[in-house]
Amino acid sequence: MNLSSEQKYLPFTRPSLDEETISAVVEVLRSGWLSTGPQVKNFEESLAEYLNTNNTHRTSSVSRVVKSFTSATEALEVALRVCGIGPGDEVITPSFSFVATSNVILKIGATPVFVDVDLGTRNLKLEDIPKVITQKTKAIMPVHFAGRSVDLQELYYYANKFNLRVIEDAAHAIGSSWQGEKIGSRGDIVVFSFHPNKNITTIEGGAISIDANRSTEIKEIELHRFHGIIKDADNNTDVLIAGGKSNLSDVAACVGVGQLKQLDRFNQRRKELVELYYKLLSVTEKQRSLLQLPLYPQDQLNREGHSWHMFTPLLNLKKLKITRQEFISSMHKLGIGVGIHYPAIHLFELYGKLGYKRGDFPNTEEIGATTITLPLFPAMEDSDVHRVCAAINTLFSTH
């Protein structure tokens, strides 16, 4: 692949780290306090403040507490345990997500009960929830896919009707909002991810947001996070549960503090880039017939509340003369990275053992077979979007 200096390889995502954050990390390294310490406290309090105050309006005065983890996967598992979910229980979750969402359900001995997703929004078809409710159902774990919030009013209507816990997988949705309220500023338990490909990063990491009044569950979260250990005023140790170890380091938290300051700017830039994608990829009838763009929110509040973690159109492979992999390889040769987010979970071998099979979730299977992830990150220039769209148009003209 020969690229000119103006045509450097464009990945589908890349974290944005400023010099101020890098310098702050150096200071943490020099401090000698590398594990959980003052930086973790600062990050958790800063994120809680962001969730508690950065809203268009509030319907509740309840504040949130944030507890950080080494990954969102660990946070999801702890959230399930805190909700008392275990062997014999069922958890409703979308069949379209990263596999971690359903894996943690299996890991604690419960059973994931899949529901298909909407073809346009890629979010859980909430109207299908009553169809899969049984006496074993204990919780719903929706995913705010690519930063677009699920309908929280409808979600919690079903949760309240059937007396279910809700664990919102908001791995894609830091900075997203629903009807003017930040995801994580309300609701049952909300889990964020700070993996390097997310809208902000702590290198690796995640967090739980929970109502500040639920002190018993907050203490249980802390126990699960660090070996079940408690200490008294004299520093005597006791162990209450067989907890794990998923406490965030100060180095990681320091990165998160710097990133959080820039979150709104990052997300605003993502929205601008996506607007340009929509403009350039829906000009002609050919484009519209060969590439199905994600459904754009029509409601102004929810349009503003979409944080655009990813931009994931669907290829119309029935009309194209190339496969998805050939499309991706061709884009790579042009110096443009394209990802796949995600394959259908229920078609993995592990979930076939639970009885799931091809044909169970048509929308998920169509998305899983045709989705592509185009470059989207705050450091991109408008010219990068023009370049991606020009490359796509070239491939469409050829194939």
**3-state SS, residue 238:** strand
What pLDDT is recorded for position 59? 46
Q: Could you write out the DSSP letters of every residue in 5-73?
A: TTS--B-S------HHHHHHHHHHHHHT--SSSHHHHHHHHHHHHHHHH--S--S----EEEEEES-HH
CB 123 within 8 A of CB 146: no
What pLDDT is recorded for position 61? 55
Domains of the chain: 19-260 (3.40.640.10), 264-398 (3.90.1150.10)
Which of the following is catalytic: 67, 125, 138, 198?
A: 198
What pLDDT is recorded for position 57? 54
What pLDDT is recorded for position 300? 75
Q: How far apart are CA 73 and CA 99, in angstroms?
A: 10
Q: Could you write out the DSSP letters of every residue in 266-331?
A: HHHHHHHHHHHHHHHHSSSHHHHHHEEPPPPP-SHHHHHT---S-B--EE-TTT-SS-HHHHHHHH
Residue partners of 386: CB distance under 8 A and separation at least 6: 276, 280
Q: How far apart are CA 399 and CA 394, in angstroms?
A: 9
The C-alpha angle with vertex 290 and arms to 286 and 291, in degrees rounded to 5, equals: 115
Q: Is 198 a catalytic residue?
A: yes
What pLDDT is recorded for position 236? 95
Q: How far apart are CA 69 and CA 248, in angstroms?
A: 5
Mean pLDDT by groups of 10 residues along the chain of 399 residues: 67 96 96 93 97 67 89 98 98 98 98 97 98 98 98 98 98 96 96 98 98 97 96 94 96 98 98 97 91 87 90 97 97 98 98 97 98 98 98 94
What pLDDT is recorded for position 5? 45
What pLDDT is recorded for position 301? 74
What pLDDT is recorded for position 87? 98
